Amino acid sequence: MILVTGAAGFIGANFVLDWLAQSDEPVINLDKLTYAGNLQSLSSLDGDARHVFVHGDIGDRALVDRLLAEHRPRAVVNFAAESHVDRSIHGPEDFIQTNVVGTFHLLESVRAHWGTLEGEARAAFRFLHVSTDEVYGTLKPTDPPFTENHPYEPNSPYSASKAASDHLVRAYHHTYGLPVLTTNCSNNYGPYHFPEKLIPLMIVNALAGKPLPVYGDGMQVRDWLFVKDHCSAIRRVLEAGTPGETYNVGGWNEKPNIEIVNTVCALLDEMSPRADGQGYATQITYVKDRPGHDRRYAIDATKIHRELGWKPAETFETGIRKTVRWYLDNQAWVQQVQSGEYRQWVDKQYGAKA
């Protein structure tokens, strides 16, 4: 059995679905169900005894201690995090509480649990911490991609809070010997992505006939990773990663944001054309750039390929086509997550015209 935190969120839900599609090993799912946590994403597991959902916070020591003692998982995979840069700019405190303080409390519970294990169970136990490439800061156009040895230079409250959590995880390995693994991933996209992020926001707004808000000049570059490839990388690191090591996970797909938006528009023109015959790209609207917007991220995923034999299965072209198709086929899910709180957020961030 494994304990997965934050498993009702975008990446966590995909991880649990993929895990149980390939294994009968049960999953304990601990999620706080904040605005981006959505049990509807896991509705296909209703009644499945292999999936046990627990509503709670990683910072609740009594709850986490009880879950660890009761279920005695062989591994903990930590997805639980506040993860949206824009929200961290407007309200950084939640990010400190969840990503820093919450991770600390989770580590303390896991360390105590690990201390009760003996023999093979103790040797096999793993704590896998899922992090982001944003901890490394920003790159110039000609800089080489981030490796695992790149210095941390976070530029937003979100990335600073994730950097702090990474440092705590590292410290618990070096100080206490806790068998930890850390992954730093590039921008994920795919099914069940909450529509505040670029790709799902573009799809949802395009279909609703609304403007497609693009920050600044749209030339911010990101490395795009299909979420199911990310999930396979995490499974591989959990299976064979060396305790104490960090593994960068990327899709080898550096692209500027405006290219992403135009690609989404072209796919929608093909799969669900506008009734008036116009292209969706006519809805693109440039909006004021966000404060401190990092210009470029790029991941060097050589280490995980060399040491663990992992590489992404999807190209960006195949992954984005699957993603657009999924949103077109799952409009009920999209409508369910577009709550009043979500609508208010979009209006606040991009203006009511978005």
Q: Compute the distance between CA of residue 179 and CA of residue 174 in angstroms, rounded to an integer.
A: 9
**Token pair for 85:** 């840069």
- Look at residue 353 and tell me whether its pLDDT is greater than 60: no
**Given 31, 82, 86, 134, the catalytic residue:** 134
- Please count the helices (runs of H) and the strands (runs of E) in the chain: 14, 12
Above pLDDT 90, what percent of the chain?
Answer: 85
- List, as one string, the DSSP characters of 3-27: EEETTTSHHHHHHHHHHHHH----E
pLDDT tens digits, 88-104 = 788 899 899 999 999 99
181 DSSP β-pair partners: 128
**Given 31, 57, 136, 158, the catalytic residue:** 158
- Look at residue 341 and tell me whether its pLDDT is greater than 90: no
Band of pLDDT at residue 352, cut at 50, 70 and 90:
very low
CA 197, distance to chain mean position in Å, is 11
- Look at residue 340 and tell me whether its pLDDT is greater than 80: no
Pseudo-torsion of CA 21, 124, 10, 186, nearest 10°? -120
pLDDT tens digits, 167-223 = 999 999 999 999 999 999 999 999 999 887 899 999 999 999 999 999 999 999 999
How buried is 258 (Cβ within 10 angstroms: 0-12 exposed, 13-18 middle, 19+ buried)?
middle
Q: Compute the distance between CA of residue 44 and CA of residue 40 in angstroms, rounded to an integer.
A: 8
Q: Compute the distance between CA of residue 315 and CA of residue 86 in angstroms, rounded to an integer.
A: 28
Annotation says 158 is catalytic = yes
| Count of CB atoms situated within 10 Å of the CB of 24 | 8
Mean pLDDT on 303-329? 98
Average pLDDT for the chain:
93
Band of pLDDT at residue 119, cut at 50, 70 and 90:
very high
pLDDT tens digits, 9-22 = 999 999 999 999 99
- Look at residue 82 and tell me whether its pLDDT is greater than 90: no
pLDDT tens digits, 250-268 = 999 999 999 999 999 999 9
Above pLDDT 70, what percent of the chain?
Answer: 95
Task: Give the residue from 95, 88, 31, 84 showing the smallest Cα distance to 60.
Answer: 31
CB 142, CB 210: distance < 8 Å = no
Q: Compute the distance between CA of residue 75 and CA of residue 124 in angstroms, rounded to an integer.
A: 8
**Given 31, 57, 82, 133, the catalytic residue:** 133
Cβ-proximal residues to 193 (8 Å cutoff; 6+ apart), any chain: 10, 199, 200, 227, 323
Band of pLDDT at residue 248, cut at 50, 70 and 90:
very high
**Token pair for 236:** 């591989």
Q: Compute the distance between CA of residue 350 and CA of residue 147 in angstroms, rounded to an integer.
A: 33
- Look at residue 292 and tell me whether its pLDDT is greater than 90: no
Rg (CA), the chain: 20
Mean pLDDT on 64-81? 97
Options 3.90.1150.10, 2.60.40.1080, 3.30.450.20, 3.40.50.720; CATH of 2-190+226-252+293-315: 3.40.50.720
CA 338, distance to chain mean position in Å, is 19
Cβ-proximal residues to 21 (8 Å cutoff; 6+ apart), any chain: none
Res 344: pLDDT: 56
CB 185, CB 130: distance < 8 Å = yes
Phi, psi for 270 (deg, rounded to 5): -80, -45
pLDDT tens digits, 220-238 = 999 999 999 999 999 999 9
Q: Compute the distance between CA of residue 46 and CA of residue 20 in angstroms, rounded to an integer.
A: 13
Categorise residue 59: left if φ over 0, alpha if ψ from -120 to 50, beta otherwise: alpha
E strands along the chain, which residues? 2-5, 27-31, 51-55, 75-78, 126-132, 180-185, 187-189, 212-215, 221-226, 246-249, 254-256, 284-287
- Look at residue 342 and tell me whether its pLDDT is greater than 50: no
Q: Compute the distance between CA of residue 300 and CA of residue 185 in angstroms, rounded to an integer.
A: 10
Band of pLDDT at residue 84, cut at 50, 70 and 90:
low
CB 282, CB 272: distance < 8 Å = no
Cβ-proximal residues to 62 (8 Å cutoff; 6+ apart), any chain: none
Could you give the angle at the alpha carbon of 155 between the alpha carbons of 151 and 159, nearest 5°?
80
